Amino acid sequence: MISVDGMSAELEAGAAEAEKRLEAAADLDEVRAIDAEALGKRSALTAAKKQLGRLDPGDRKAAGMAINAIRTRLEAAVAAANERIAVGARAAQYDAERLDLSERLSEIRRGSLHLTTQARDRLEDVFVGMGFTIAEGPEVETAWYNFEALNIPEWHPARGSFDTIFVDLGEPEEVMLRSHTSPVQIRTMENTEPPIYIVAPGRTFRTDTADAIHLPAFNQIEGLVIDRGIGLGDLAGTIDEFVRAFFGGDVKTRLRPSYFPFTEPSAEFDISRPDGSWLELGGCGVVHPNVLVNCGIDPEEWQGFAFGFGIDRLAAMRYQLDDIRELVNSDVRFLRQF
């Protein structure tokens, strides 16, 4: 006859021993071995469970409960040991894999958009927001598009002021590098029925020697609106709105009378500096009726305005460039700053 008390004490001692060994176990294999030994088919616990039937029925229930309690305890101890070892192993891995994130031999480098492109994109975006589309045209132009259609006849004193670069095509002075973006106005009006709301960014040319503030090839943006009843007030208001959107709300604008053969009335427009002085930004005016007629648009039905200014200069102003030639030097030390 087996003594219940005797069996319990034996199992208890075995379990305590197993618990002690589990706490000390160094790896998962050892846990697995202890697990098999203490809880497996050949364990004392399993054997004890098999002998329950031979107990006095009165003792059977208490003995069964005791065995289950020990089993539950041991199972928990195994799980705890596994957990302890897994956490330890992960910690060891973390420790072993420590990496200095500043130690890099290669990099994924993003390139840079050219400063002029960035300025041009920003300008385009502002004007798109104001309901304009973007028009483009060739850089090599005929005298018709660069001058004549713009109301600058061959004898006109203003022609000289453009310092035009001519190319060896056609008759002398018949083909040239456009001296302003205004030819795009003409091309647009020739091909589009009003109303017209465009801006035309692009490269223009003058016979200037490159220096800190001049380039023989530079970029301008030109705006043209042709609609019913458009006048100087609309021009002033549009420039105001653009300047607010581009430079910020505090910047004021003013128009001063000026002269361009292709607009009348004509004006220069200035923007205010923080110190209250004025900076001349560009030229503008109400489209001259001769220009409309040259493009087959009836000046009695349609009126419009045009304005233009330099893009490179805006880019240069924004970053306070001291030498505008950097824009064309392709020096990577410059390009990567933006």
DSSP string of 274-298, one letter each residue: TTS-EEEEEEEEEEPHHHHHHTT--
What is the closest distance, in whole angstroms, from the C-beta atom of residue 222 to another protein in the complex?
16
CA dist 19 and 31 (Å) reads 10
Residue 74 vs 284, nearer CB to another protein: 284
Amino acid at 106: S
What is the closest distance, in whole angstroms, from the C-beta atom of residue 113 to another protein in the complex?
5
Binding region for another protein (CB under 8 A) out of 15-23, 37-45, 178-186, 325-333: 325-333
Residue tagged 């042709």 (tokens):
226
What is the closest distance, in whole angstroms, from the C-beta atom of residue 178 to another protein in the complex?
11
Binding region for another protein (CB under 8 A) out of 27-35, 49-57, 85-93, 262-270: 262-270
The correct pick among 240, 245, 317, 318 for binding another protein (CB under 8 A) is 240
Beta strand pairing call for 196-205 and 133-134: parallel
What is the closest distance, in whole angstroms, from the C-beta atom of residue 262 to another protein in the complex?
12
CA dist 145 and 185 (Å) reads 9
Cβ pair 11, 67 in contact under 8 A: yes
Quick note: the x/- pattern for another protein over 52-71, rule CB under 8 A, is --------------------
Residues 310, 179, 124, CA angle at the centre, nearest 5°? 35
Q: List the interface residues with another protein, window 90-129 (CB under 8 A).
A: 108-114, 116-117, 121, 124, 127-129
Residues in a beta bridge with 22 = none
DSSP string of 195-224, one letter each residue: PEEEEEEEEEE-S----SS--SEEEEEEEE
Q: List the interface residues with another protein, window 130-189 (CB under 8 A).
A: 130-134, 138-142, 153, 155-158, 160-161, 165-170, 172-175, 177
Residues 6+ apart with CB under 8 A from 214: 208, 324
What is the closest distance, in whole angstroms, from the C-beta atom of residue 85 to another protein in the complex?
35
The correct pick among 231, 298, 301, 319 for binding another protein (CB under 8 A) is 231
CA–chain centroid gap for 39, Å, is 62
Q: Any contact of residue 259 with another protein (CB under 8 A)? A: yes
Q: List the interface residues with another protein, window 194-213 (CB under 8 A).
A: 195, 197, 203, 207-209
Binding region for another protein (CB under 8 A) out of 37-45, 73-81, 90-98, 233-241: 233-241
CA dist 206 and 216 (Å) reads 5
